[in-house]
Structure formats: structure tokens, C-alpha cells
């Protein structure tokens, strides 16, 4: 049952008012049962009005600018807008519908204009600029200077130095970009949901584990096709089909449907959106004085320049590509041995990889899945957080959530004091975006002496339960759950003063450190013993299986690395363009991959037309961040390798110097306070099996 409805029994004057003040609920949790779709538009409008008035008051303050009356006032402004935006964004990502999409399309240009009205406000910038010029004499601590400098740069990078004519032009660019990125994401969601591979011949299910077959039968029943089997473009559906289905023609059909999303020359096609987005980003970067969009982005990242990103990606590529070619040759050998009269193709990779894994390590994922019941994995990540940081998680009953599958937990410190609220939402639905992510319904800050604690949520698209089995996760899903929980910890453990620098509000190529370091615990033998229990017998995963997992831990790493770097380089190639032009998206992508020598048996992890990270998310010229952060996380994990997987001193240092600090200091400064030196990239290469 949906908890978000289009309520009609409220007086029109009250619509949206639920967002006008702090929620009067336990821990300030959003009262989802009282929020209707009709509340959003008036709340957005009220929030814009409120913050506009606050900005006017700050800009026109007759008193000389101070850190408190200008920077802190700016940081504290827009509480209504923040409240409604966080709830709306959360629902649009996880529980979307036509009404929310229409509201988003209507609000998008208004929110873009509102943002420009703030960051192109000359009077406000005069005050910020005066403070920035005099910052050495203001007696600011590190966090305060960081906040001041952040706002100063935000204004400059938003175009405050441009002429009035250029500012008007920039406003139009921002509005159009906002609409285009929204449209890209909507197209992808609709195309993903519109495809079904319907199977009515049971023989076509040959090779598939019973759990996969049962899930497809449930999907068919939900779509009024009982007695058939339906596979979709949601990853828990298409990936196991590619791994296990013996029918090669159907594997090809489903895989091509997946990788042609947004590229079918239909109403959901994204090629024109890509053209416009790339060209507008070039135009905006040039207007602001940058050669490329990537140069604009990198200025505020740890990487600093596109050249540094290309160097990292190409350096690792040199190790990965030869390994990938060896893997492809091994898979082709299996095909030939079985009498297959064909060359390995991209839709064959997963299927023959499973065969090779079993041949090399006597290990297949179907053998492992019974030990990874979703609820047990979640308890495992909670237990890991308890052993590292002393955190406890207590499920809250009868609290408002936006969908019945969502669960809420109170997170407390070792001494019992309240730390955060944590929501989990782990299964695919038609209204949910693909992938997995973390966000918040409220961030952390200290205001009027009160440490306001955050409301954090994780969203995933993991394998659902079937009538025969509970939700049993793949290894990739287990790793993803730990990854997103790492982001959640970054939000939950934040302990700064100002909201503008709290939690995960850090550079993109630093934000993946807390998430990726958590992956190191997922399959460590000591951690597996805490949570990996057979869903039927309760038996802890045996040492023999753990040994097989460890032996296979670097298996297929060439493929994993090259498909990722292929996507990261494609992102960089788009965003290092210096001149606007008409892009043939298919040709651009083809040449980008030919340039680096990506073998034909592999495609980049994200093809352009469904690369939502860079065309509808916040990762434009930033997909490399996962690899950049892996240099950090591989090095950051070493104290636990050397001192013990649950070493308290290392955990407390990581919490104190990284997880609690948000963006209150330079990321490398924070890292070196934890580690004592800059990261050594050799650990990344070792973790991927490229060097010994």
C-alpha cells in the first residue's frame, strides 16, 4: 500500500504547510502518512519565498558584514526549501510517479532561477567578498574559513563576475540544463520499465537456478501473466539471466535491450539530450573562463586537473587490458571445447565467466547465495559498525515510512545516546531509479547549541524474496549493501557545526572513500562468520567456502576494471571537449573506446544513453572518482590489515579524522591526519591482483 497519496480533503490554504516548520514527530522524521503530492508545489513556492526574503535581509543588512550576519545567516537560510526538497528528492528517486515527475518538471526552472538569484546577487557577494579579503583578520577556525571560502568560490563559479548580459545568458543555460538532465533520467526510468522479456516455453529457462525462475514467475504474476516468466531490465533480473541461461539467443536479446536503453530512436531516446547537455556545459565552462567542463569541475576536486585523471585511468588501464585479453581467451577456450561455433560476444561474458569460475575454483554463486540472506547481511553490516565504532541499531516500529518495504532504525552510540535515524529500502519497484544510493531527509548541524542529528537513508535494487526463498543476495549485492552503508556512516557520524560542510558534502573524488573502505569488511573471514548463515539451517558459512571465495577474489578483475575505466574515460572524453558541435553519440562512443583499445567482447559499464551518473546525476567529469577513491580506500584499510580487522584505535582515528569531519577541512589534510602520509597507489594494484 502506498503511503503517498493525492489528498483532496485538506483546505487549499493548508497545502504544503506541513513543511513550514520542523516536523513534530519522534526525532523529526518526515510524517509520510500526512504528506500528499499536493503539498509539494506550495511548499516549494513557500520555501523559495522564505529564502528569497532571508537573502534580501542579509544582502541589505545596514551593519558591516561579519561571519555571523553574512556567512552563518546564508548557511542557515532556506530551511523550508531544504525540508521539502529532501523529502521530494527522496521520493522521486525511490517512489516516483507521473504526478511527482510533473511537479519536478514544473519546479525545475523555478529552482534553477532561485539558485541563480542567490549566487548572482551582487549585494550579497559584496559582503562575502569583503569577508574573504579580510579572512586573515577574522579569527576564524578551520571549519569557519572552509565555509567562507566555499561560499566565495560558489559565487565566483556561479558567474558573479560576469557582465549582466552574460549573467542573463547563464541563467538560461542553467534552466535548460536542469530540464535536460531531468528529462534524461525520466526517459531512462520509463524505458527501463517498459521492457519485458516474456518466456512461455519452460525449455528456455534451462540453466537458470530455481530462485531466478521463481522470481521471474512472481514478476509475471504481478503483471497478470501467470504461468509465464518475465525478465526485466532491473539488474536483479537481467544479470542472473546472463549468468546462467543456456539459451544464447535470449541472452543476446535481453542484453541488447539493456545496453540500448535510451538509444532506440523512440520517445525515450536520450541522444539529443546528450548533445544539448554536453554543448551547454561547454558553453557554460567557456563563459566562466574554463577551457572545458572537466577543467571547471576538477578545480574543486582532489584530482585538480583532467590530466591527472587521465593519468590515473590510463596507468591502471595498462595493467587491466592485458589481463582482460587473457580472460577473454580463457572464455573462448571453453566455448571452443563445448563445440560452440562462434566468437565470444559481450552477452556471453557473464555466462562463460560463471563456467570458468566453477572450473577454476569449484565455486558458483548459486552455492553461495543461501548464506547471504538480505536480513543477515544487513545485520552483518550493523555488527561491523558496532565492533568498529560502538554503534547500535534498534528497529523502530509504527513510525511513518514512504513504502511498506522501508524499515527505520534508531542508531545510538555505545553509551546509548542518540546518533541518527537510518532508513533502508532495498528492493526494486517500477517507481524506483536503478542502482543504489545514500541520501538524507535531514543533515547534521549544530544550531543554537543543539547538535541536530541526521536522518539518513539507503536505497537499493536487490534480489527480492520468492514464495520459496527469502531475499538471497549475490556477492555484488552484498558488496553494494556494504558500500552504501559506508556512505550512510559518513552521514550519520558527521559532527561539524555548519550544514554547508556536513556529512557527505565533500568533493566527489573523496566521497567514495567512506563507502569503498566498507567493502573491505564485506567478505573478510572474521566478518563473514558474523553474518553469513545458511537461510535454512542457520549454519555459518564453512571455512571451505570462504577459502574458495578468497581464492576467487581477484577473478575476472580485468573485465571489472576495463568496463569501469571504459565508462570513466568516456565521461572524460565528453567533458574535455573544447568546442560546441553536433555529436553523433554512437560514433563518439565507438571512437572513444577504439582509442583505448577496449576489446569488442566488452562494452563500457555505462553506454552514453543510460549513463545517468554523468547526464542526470552529479558525476559529470567525475565517474573516475570511484577509482581515485580506491587509491585512498586501499591505503586507508592497511592499518586494519596490519593491526586487526576490528582494530579500535584505527577505527576511532578514521572516525575522528575522516567520517566526522565532512568538508570542514581539505580532504588530503584530513586523510593525512588519519594515515600520516598521502596514499600509496600500490595497494590498489595489489587489491585488483595486478601486482603481487
Cell digits for 614? 554523468
Q: Comparing C-alpha atoms, which of 538, 527, 274, 540 is closest to residue 387?
A: 527
Phi-psi label, residue 503: left if phi above 0, alpha if psi -120 to 50, beta otherwise: left
CB 105 within 8 A of CB 182: yes
The C-alpha atoms of residue 434 and residue 93 are separated, in whole angstroms, by 9
Cell digits for 148? 567562507
The C-alpha atoms of residue 409 and residue 87 are separated, in whole angstroms, by 18
DSSP class per residue in 284-323: HHHHTT-SSHHHHHHTTSSS-SHHHHHHHHHHHHHHHHHH
Query: Bridge-partner residues for 189, per DSSP?
Result: none
Q: Comparing C-alpha atoms, which of 325, 308, 396, 402 is closest to residue 627?
A: 308
Return the number of other C-beta atoms located less than 10 Å from residue 206's C-beta: 10
The C-alpha atoms of residue 60 and residue 54 are separated, in whole angstroms, by 10
The C-alpha atoms of residue 476 and residue 605 are separated, in whole angstroms, by 14
The C-alpha atoms of residue 613 and residue 437 are separated, in whole angstroms, by 11
Give yes or no: 484 in active site.
yes
Q: Comparing C-alpha atoms, which of 564, 565, 598, 555 is closest to residue 688?
A: 555
Q: What DSSP state is assigned to residue 408?
A: E
The C-alpha atoms of residue 312 and residue 292 are separated, in whole angstroms, by 19
The C-alpha atoms of residue 306 and residue 317 are separated, in whole angstroms, by 16
> Which residue among the candidates 365, 484, 589, 630 is catalytic per the annotation?
484
Task: Give the CA angle between residues 78, 162, 175 to the nearest 5°.
Answer: 50
CB 455 within 8 A of CB 438: no
Q: Comparing C-alpha atoms, which of 454, 487, 485, 498 is closest to residue 30?
A: 454
- What Å distances lie between residue 636 and 353, 484, 671, 675, 683, CA to CA? 31, 18, 8, 7, 9
- 539: Cβ contacts below 8 Å, ≥ 6 apart: 533
To which residue does cell 567533458 refer?
575
Residues that are catalytic? 484
Amino acid at each position: 500500500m502506498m503511503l503517498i497519496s493525492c489528498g483532496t480533503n485538506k483546505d487549499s490554504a493548508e497545502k504544503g504547510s506541513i513543511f513550514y516548520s520542523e516536523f513534530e514527530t519522534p526525532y523529526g522524521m518526515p510524517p509520510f502518512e500526512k504528506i500528499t503530492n499536493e503539498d509539494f508545489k506550495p511548499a516549494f513556492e513557500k520555501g523559495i519565498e522564505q529564502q528569497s526574503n532571508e537573502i534580501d535581509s542579509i544582502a541589505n543588512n545596514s551593519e558591516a558584514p561579519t561571519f555571523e550576519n553574512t556567512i552563518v545567516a546564508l548557511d542557515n537560510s532556506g530551511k523550508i526549501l531544504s525540508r521539502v526538497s529532501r523529502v521530494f528528492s527522496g521520493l522521486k528517486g525511490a517512489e516516483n510517479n507521473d504526478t511527482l515527475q510533473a511537479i519536478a518538471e514544473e519546479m525545475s526552472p523555478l529552482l534553477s532561477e532561485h539558485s541563480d538569484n542567490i549566487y548572482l546577487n551582487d549585494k550579497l557577494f559584496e559582503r562575502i567578498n569583503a569577508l574573504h579579503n579580510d579572512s586573515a583578520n577574522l579569527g576564524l577556525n578551520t571549519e569557519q574559513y572552509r565555509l567562507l571560502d566555499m561560499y566565495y568560490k560558489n559565487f565566483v563559479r556561479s558567474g558573479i563576475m560576469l557582465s549582466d548580459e552574460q549573467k542573463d545568458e547563464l541563467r538560461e543555460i542553467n534552466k535548460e540544463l536542469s530540464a535536460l538532465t531531468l528529462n534524461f533520467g525520466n526517459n531512462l526510468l520509463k524505458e527501463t520499465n517498459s521492457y519485458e522479456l516474456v518466456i512461455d516455453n519452460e525449455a528456455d529457462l534451462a540453466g537458470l537456478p530455481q530462485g531466478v525462475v521463481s522470481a521471474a514467475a512472481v514478476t509475471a504474476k504481478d503483471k497478470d501473466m501467470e504461468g509465464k516468466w518475465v525478465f526485466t531490465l532491473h539488474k536483479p533480473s537481467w544479470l542472473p539471466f546472463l549468468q546462467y541461461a543456456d539459451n544464447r539467443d535470449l541472452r543476446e536479446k535481453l542484453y541488447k535491450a539493456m545496453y540500448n536503453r535510451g538509444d532506440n530512436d523512440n520517445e525515450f531516446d536520450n541522444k539529443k539530450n546528450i548533445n544539448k547537455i554536453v554543448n551547454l556545459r561547454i558553453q557554460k565552462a567557456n563563459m566562466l573562463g574554463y577551457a572545458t567542463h572537466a577543467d571547471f569541475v576538477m578545480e574543486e576536486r582532489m584530482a585538480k586537473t583532467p590530466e591527472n585523471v587521465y593519468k590515473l585511468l590510463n596507468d591502471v588501464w595498462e595493467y587491466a587490458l592485458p589481463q582482460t585479453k587473457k580472460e577473454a581467451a580463457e572464455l573462448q577456450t571453453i566455448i571452443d571445447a563445448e563445440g560452440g561455433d562462434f566468437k565470444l560476444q559481450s552477452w556471453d561474458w557473464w555466462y562463460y565467466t560463471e563456467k570458468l569460475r566453477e572450473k577454476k575454483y569449484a565455486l558458483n554463486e548459486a552455492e553461495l547465495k543461501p548464506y547471504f540472506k538480505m536480513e543477515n547481511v544487513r545485520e552483518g553490516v550493523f555488527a561491523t559498525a558496532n565492533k568498529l565504532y560502538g554503534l547500535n541499531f534498534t528497529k523502530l516500529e509504527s513510525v511513518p515510512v514512504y513504502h511498506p518495504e522501508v524499515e527505520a532504525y534508531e542508531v545510538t552510540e555505545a553509551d546509548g545516546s542518540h546518533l541518527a535515524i537510518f532508513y533502508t529500502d532495498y528492493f526494486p519497484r517500477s517507481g524506483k531509479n536503478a542502482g543504489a544510493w545514500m541520501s538524507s531527509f535531514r543533515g547534521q548541524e549544530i544550531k543554537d547549541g543543539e547538535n541536530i542529528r541526521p536522518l539518513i537513508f539507503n536505497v537499493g535494487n536487490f534480489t527480492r524474496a520468492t514464495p520459496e526463498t527469502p531475499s538471497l543476495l549475490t556477492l555484488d549485492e552484498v558488496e553494494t549493501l556494504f558500500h552504501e552503508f559506508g556512505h550512510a556512516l559518513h552521514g550519520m557520524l558527521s559532527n561539524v557545526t555548519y550544514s554547508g560542510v556536513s556529512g557527505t558534502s565533500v568533493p566527489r573524488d573523496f566521497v567514495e572513500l567512506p563507502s569503498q573502505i566498507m567493502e573491505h569488511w564485506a567478505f573478510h573471514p572474521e566478518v563473514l562468520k558474523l553474518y553469513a548463515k545458511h537461510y535454512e539451517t542457520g549454519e555459518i558459512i564453512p571455512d571451505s567456502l570462504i577459502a574458495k571465495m578468497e581464492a576467487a577474489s581477484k577473478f575476472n578483475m580485468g573485465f571489472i576494471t576495463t568496463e569501469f575505466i571504459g565508462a570513466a574515460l568516456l565521461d572524460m572524453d565528453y567533458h574535455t571537449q573544447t568546442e560546441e558541435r553536433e555529436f553523433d553519440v554512437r560514433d563518439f562512443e565507438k571512437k572513444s573506446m577504439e582509442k583505448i583499445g577496449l576489446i569488442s567482447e566488452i562494452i563500457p559499464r555505462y553506454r552514453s544513453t543510460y549513463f545517468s551518473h554523468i547526464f542526470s546525476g552529479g558525476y559529470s567529469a567525475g565517474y573516475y572518482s570511484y577509482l581515485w577513491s580506491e587509491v585512498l580506500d586501499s591505503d586507508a584499510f592497511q592499518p586494519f590489515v596490519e593491526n586487526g580487522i576490528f582494530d579500535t584505535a584505527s577505527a576511532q582515528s578514521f572516525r575522528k579524522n575522516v567520517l566526522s569531519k565532512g568538508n570542514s577541512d581539505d580532504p588530503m589534510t584530513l586523510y593525512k591526519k588519519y594515515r600520516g602520509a598521502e596514499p600509496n597507489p600500490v595497494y590498489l594494484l595489489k587489491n585488483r591482483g595486478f601486482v603481487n
